[in-house]
Each structure stands twice: as C-alpha cells, then as structure tokens.
Structure 1
Amino acid sequence: MAGNGRIRADVKPGLEVDIVLKQDQRTGKTTRGIVKDLLTNSPQHPHGIKVRLQDGQVGRVKNIIGGASE
C-alpha cells in the first residue's frame, strides 16, 4: 500500500512515511520515519496530512512507504 499522504484515512500510526519538515518546505527534502500521531483533523489536505513521527519531528506526509497494517 503506497499513497501520496493527502487522505487522512490512508495515514495511520505505525506506518513508515516520508514527510517534509516545515524548514524543508522550500527544498522539498523528505525525512523518513514512523507515524506516531496524526495532527490534521480534516479528511484530506492538498499539501499532505500533518503528522508527528515517533522521534518527535512534525511534517506533512509526501509518500506512504508501508508498515504496520498492510
């Protein structure tokens, strides 16, 4: 299961994702990690669902790699 991270239902805690951190939005550099919390409440977001990774970093999901519930 891979997705683009714009639909909240696709993003779940435990999934491995690539996110763009706030400071990396200009460059588009991605950071890979495991989702801990979903921070976006709306069902979808054009720039990606905002999440907190297990290491505490916060950013918007660009790619869903896979993981927990495949």
Structure 2
Amino acid sequence: MEVEIILKKDQRSGKRTEGVVKDLLTSSAFHSRGIKVRLEDGQIGRVVGILD
C-alpha cells in the first residue's frame, strides 16, 4: 500500500514523504496523530494520506 507519511524531523514543516508500507508499528486501529508505519526503505513516520 502506497502512503504519505510525515517523518518525526518534518513534523514542524509538514513535509510529506511517499513510500510503500512494510510494517505497521502502531498496535491500535486508530491513533489521534496517525498510525505509525515503517516504509520499505526503512523510514518511519505517521500516515497522513493513502495513495494506493
């Protein structure tokens, strides 16, 4: 699944990063700031949009 995430370092600027989800890191089905995921390239952030 291709998503847009915001990395921890980009939280202030809101810069989005695109990638394909490798792992879900948030155990609950909902999180107020977004579900935390690891992308296939190893970057970790919170989902802000689903592209595919």
TM range (shorter): over 0.9
**1:44 correspondence with 2:30:** yes
Looking at structure 2, the residues matched to 47 and 17 of structure 1 have their Cα atoms a distance apart, in angstroms, of 15
Looking at structure 2, the residues matched to 64 and 26 of structure 1 have their Cα atoms a distance apart, in angstroms, of 21
**1:57 correspondence with 2:43:** yes
Report which of the two structures shows the higher radius of gyration computed on alpha carbons. Answer: 1
Q: Which consecutive residues of structure 1, in runs of 5 or more, have no partner in the other structure?
A: 1-14
Q: Given the two structures, how large is their TM-score scaled by the length of structure 2?
A: 0.97
Q: Which runs of 4+ in 1 moved over 6 A?
A: none
Cross-structure match for 2:11: 25
Q: How many residues align?
A: 52
Aligned-pair identity in percent equals: 63
Task: Point out the structure with the larger strand share.
Answer: 2
Q: Given the two structures, how large is their TM-score scaled by the length of structure 1?
A: 0.73
TM-superposed CA distance for 1:43, in Å, is 1.5
